[in-house]
Structure 1
């Protein structure tokens, strides 16, 4: 049958090239060394040919502030066209954005002035009146920075402003090169580094690939700025082929092969050693095994990984006779393995999580959410945490006696934090991971109480984007821990508690706003507007009149109003159906349930 289909398509279908529909955008690659700009040319002896000298009048102050001539490079394209400047670090992004704006003429302020004022107003509205001082100075010039320190709402708003031409310049980190569709006429790489690491060929190609917009521009340009000391490495960078692509399974067996095996057995796709090995042979890792595996064979790695999962108590091994002489090694998932599989818990942490939850049962402090928050703070964020000890000590002193009891149960005392804050030597050993995890728990706890990313960011001296990512990670991990506990009878007490906590971490608003935020398209700012206008429940919102909603709520379009009301009605309907199903389940009698027996009194009345 497959051969017939192939034959049919070969005879009847003419291959169509996408080039017929999507015009090619020429990408010109340039290098900049001092005042000279060179074009990348694979036919040239060194891979580059001289193009031009940079023509821009620099004052002494500008030379000192802008040794890379970024102002000259960006003003050749903005504000008519868009431009991206990739910087090595987040702090560098902010500094470069401010520096460029200091030397832009006041004419740039007039370009789409009203639209830029709206961007600033919207940034303030979504942040409870707060506005980043850097963005306050740069957005009026059509310039903004873009990195993980921004909240997701800020990023979305700035990206929309850039895509619509309101903002013409982004200073950004390498993360913008992947996953975000923000093309530009010119892309500038301020240095051939990401943080302290020299660029890889695939990173370079990913960044310069932002240049050129199909259907908008006919050409795109990239300029890599480098110093004399990096010349040889840069020439090698532009001439060498792309790095080979290898299976990720080879890098981290804990997160890769072992997790894959647990899923295969949990889903009953492959449950015996032979089938699992055959499955691995068909993966990308299996295809590359001759290149990737030097010391061990794929069979040995398969056996070792399954042995590890068995030793960890996630799998059980069973030898089954297939004939009088042959036996087959079958695997079954254990309760702990199923809990880890259903909760998608990283196998590096599943036994630690089990131990922490078990220990928590011995004395769970429920006078506040702090103890539960600690148990759902993601393990993978702990190694990156670097506590500010003075802040830690200050926050510790503000805890209630019950909350301090949580720290005490974890083995962390006020005197320990005090000594760390004052820089004293500490003889007693304390688990660093527990200390760091409790610090992150303090951040999340403060966020649940204040529900304001800005104030918590200032209190803990952390980027607001990092705090939002911590909150998102905690909400996700809390849901994972909930599914983990649902599979283990001994953790029944956590189930109801974690449902409530997961909801709080997901929305991170005052309790009365949570029902409104369950509606599609309603974020915190909009929920506050609706609540203030009298729409205090899902029913109120479902029965709202779109025209009244538009007049009552600022900056709400008719389309958005109808969408919110429609979503509220659908959500209300789903909840009503769920409740009806529960009622039907309760009223449904089993087939062998005895019918009602008439009492003597009832017989007399009948």
Structure 2
């Protein structure tokens, strides 16, 4: 898959699709490969399956997301019901009880400190999701990502560039795994020079400075020592992806976008596939926060993502069975 062999568990899952349950008694699979991959493929076929474990144990942040979700939808709001919920997950079979309780208590404290939940009934130890907490769940965000998105959109409420599309496309750019985005600063500089006034104004409002980009082109490093610097670094990476999203909306083929920005083709394809769902989440986030005007503006611009076409082709692209390429 891509440049790498599939994992042993994925191979088993794919093989499990052979035959039709209830109709066939036996299913056969054939694995085809190149001769120079034969040794690796044989090792793959004979590899042991990894031990199953709960995804909640890999990162504490996932416990926070799970707790926030059950509180927001009122599936579990008291300490007793939250504990019952946790003990019915696979996490209860993947870690020590004392460790789980410690993570749960720490996560609940952090959710309260971040303003996602509040103590609803101190005598019963109950919790209630705040408006922000409900918005994060509705937008399908992790709490950490929700904090970043909240700050970004709240800033946009005070000044949103509406005489161009870069600012809106920036807010439609998914933020998952931004830390892994590698920026080619020469390409960034070249694209920045081609921005119109609205695009440059968007950069200024985001705190992205041409002088800083010039320094990075010359061989400088993106500083990420303080929380403020880390946030600024995330904005540079997100804007770099927003430039790619702009080209995708202008009907530039995925392979050309990948070549232009020196990004893996799979990453650009993922961006094209996930941007619509993320944009819908941003609209939901604004609606739950009570930012109706912002939600309406974002919803108006979301047609570009759905159509995958330039603005002058939107009317044609909305016709049934007419896709962007046909338009």
Q: Residue 305 of structure 1 is aligned with which of 73, 84, 107? A: 107
Query: 1:275 deviation in Å?
Result: 1.1
Query: 1:413 deviation in Å?
Result: 2.1
Return closer, same or farther for 1:514/1:299 CA change in 2, 3 Å cut-off: same
Return closer, same or farther for 1:277/1:427 CA change in 2, 3 Å cut-off: closer
Higher helix content, 1 or 2: 2
Alpha carbons 2:222, 2:233 under 8 Å: kept: no
Aligned to 1:273: 79
Deviations 1:45-74 (A, max 9, x none): xxxxxxxxxxxxxxxxxxxxxxxxxxxxxx
Q: Residue 488 of structure 1 is aligned with which of 285, 289, 294? A: 289
1:262 aligns with 2:68: yes
Q: Report the Cα distance in structure 2 between the residues aligned to 1:391 and 1:374, rounded to whole angstroms.
A: 17
Structure 2, unmatched stretches of 5+, are none
Q: Report the Cα distance in structure 1 between the residues aligned to 2:29 and 2:246, rounded to whole angstroms.
A: 51
For residues 91-490 of structure 1, the aligned pairs below 5 Å read: 173-174=4-5, 201-203=8-10, 205=12, 209=15, 220=30, 225-226=38-39, 234=43, 238=46, 241-255=48-62, 257-286=63-92, 288=93, 292-294=94-96, 296-319=98-121, 327-423=123-219, 431-450=232-251, 452-489=253-290
Query: 1:366 deviation in Å?
Result: 1.8
For residues 454-603 of structure 1, the aligned pairs below 5 Å read: 454-489=255-290, 491-511=291-311, 513-515=313-315, 517-518=317-318, 521-526=321-326, 528=327
Query: 1:329 deviation in Å?
Result: 0.9
Alpha carbons 1:339, 1:488 under 8 Å: kept: yes
Q: Report the Cα distance in structure 2 between the residues aligned to 1:226 and 1:201, rounded to whole angstroms.
A: 15
How many residue pairs get matched? Answer: 314
Q: Report the Cα distance in structure 2 between the residues aligned to 1:381 and 1:296, rounded to whole angstroms.
A: 31
Query: 1:407 deviation in Å?
Result: 1.4
Q: Report the Cα distance in structure 1 between the residues aligned to 2:29 and 2:183, rounded to whole angstroms.
A: 48
The structure with more radius of gyration: 1
Aligned to 1:544: none
Alpha carbons 1:272, 1:329 under 8 Å: kept: yes
Return closer, same or farther for 1:213/1:293 CA change in 2, 3 Å cut-off: closer
Alpha carbons 1:451, 1:508 under 8 Å: kept: no
Query: 1:222 deviation in Å?
Result: 6.7
Q: Give the TM-score taking structure 2 as reference length.
A: 0.81
Query: 1:370 deviation in Å?
Result: 0.9
1:317 is paired with a residue whose SS is: strand
Alpha carbons 2:60, 2:103 under 8 Å: kept: no
Query: 1:350 deviation in Å?
Result: 0.9
Alpha carbons 1:448, 1:504 under 8 Å: kept: yes
Alpha carbons 2:189, 2:213 under 8 Å: kept: yes
Q: Give the TM-score taking structure 1 as reference length.
A: 0.46
